[in-house]
Amino acid sequence: MRLFYRYQDLAPQLVPLDYTSCPDVKVPYELIGTMPELKDNPFRQRIAQVFSQDGDGHMTLDNFLDMFSVMSEMAPRDLKAYYAFKIYDFNDDNYICAWDLEQTVTRLTRGELSAEEVSLVCEKVLDEADSDHDGRLSLEDFQSMILRSPDFLSTFHIRI
């Protein structure tokens, strides 16, 4: 219920209080991006895109609930790993290739690293994590790497 009120607060004129008729209401990405939990997150656009219905960032109530349930403390690790993979996969080809990595690193460091450093980082990441050596990370590579870092569960978590 709390989540529903948060959703409603984002766009009070759009979202009706009465959801029994299941209206087809979508809150646009711009309003979702202003939520205090997401406002400063460097990946907020990708998060909204991944969880939204059409991949464009506009979310219905179901998408909203999905997002926070996956990002909550109770979601199972594999589900989180799966969605994390989708978030980091910028071009949506189900692989994290070097370009995706570059995008991730740039957003993480906000332009502090130079271009060669960024490409060096991507190279090293692929070296470490790419176990079948095809030049990109598949979901299994990502998952096995995530399994090795127990902090992932606690960091991939948005409190609401």
Partner 1 sequence: MLSDDQVNEIIIEVESVPSETQSLPSLNQIFLRKSLAKPTFSTVSSVTDIDSVDCQIFRHGIDRRHNQLLRFSSLNESIYPIHRSPGCLSMDTCYPSQETIQGQRLIASLLPMTSRDRIKTIRNQPRTMEEKRKLRKIVDKEKSKQSHGILGATGCAQCLNSLSLAYRRSKSSLSELFNSVSLWQKTLKAIGGKFGTSVLSYFSFLRWLLRFNIFSFVVIFSFIVIPQFTVAEKNTLQFTGLEFLSGAGYFGDTVMYYGFYTNTTIQHGTGASYNMQLAYIFTFGACLVTCFFSLLFSMAKYFRNNFINPHIYSRGITKLVFCWDFTVTHEKAVKLKQKNLSTEIRENLSEILLENARLTFHQQLTRFSAHVAAWLVSTGVAAACSAGVYFLAEYNSEFLKTHRNPGAVLLLPFVVSLINLVVPRFYSMFSLVEKYEMPRHEVYILLIRNILLKISIVGILCYYWLNIVALSGEECWETLIGQDIYRLLLMDFVFSLADSLLGEFLRRLIGMKFITSLGLQEFDIARNVLELIYAQTLTWLGIFFCPLLPFIQMITLFIMFYVKNISLMMNFQPPSKAWRASQMITVFIFLLFFPSFMGVLCTLAITIWRLKPSADCGPFRGLPSFIQSIYSWIDTLSKRSGYLWVVWIYQNLIGSVHFFFILTLIVLIITYLYWQITEGRKIMIRLLHEQIINEGKDKMFLIEKLNKLQDMEKRTNPNAFILETREVEEQNPLHLVEHDASPDLRFRRSVQEVNPRAC
Smallest gap from Cβ 78 to partner 1, in A, equals 6
Q: Which tokens is 89 given?
A: 């996969």
Residue of 152, 33, 99 whose CA lies nearest to 107: 99
Q: Which tokens is 63 given?
A: 């998408």
- How far is Cα 153 from Cα 146, in angstroms, rounded to an integer? 9
Please answer whether residues 158 and 3 qualify as being in contact, where contact means their C-beta atoms are separated by less than 8 angstroms.
Answer: no
Smallest gap from Cβ 13 to partner 1, in A, equals 25
Amino acid (one-letter) located at 115: A
For the purposes of burial, counting CB atoms within 10 Å of the CB of 41, is it exposed (0-12), middle (13-18) or buried (19 or more)? middle
Smallest gap from Cβ 21 to partner 1, in A, equals 16
Smallest gap from Cβ 15 to partner 1, in A, equals 17
The smaller minimum CB distance to partner 1, of residues 13 and 109, is found at 109
The smaller minimum CB distance to partner 1, of residues 12 and 36, is found at 36
The smaller minimum CB distance to partner 1, of residues 5 and 131, is found at 131
> How is residue 94 annotated by DSSP?
S
The smaller minimum CB distance to partner 1, of residues 13 and 51, is found at 51
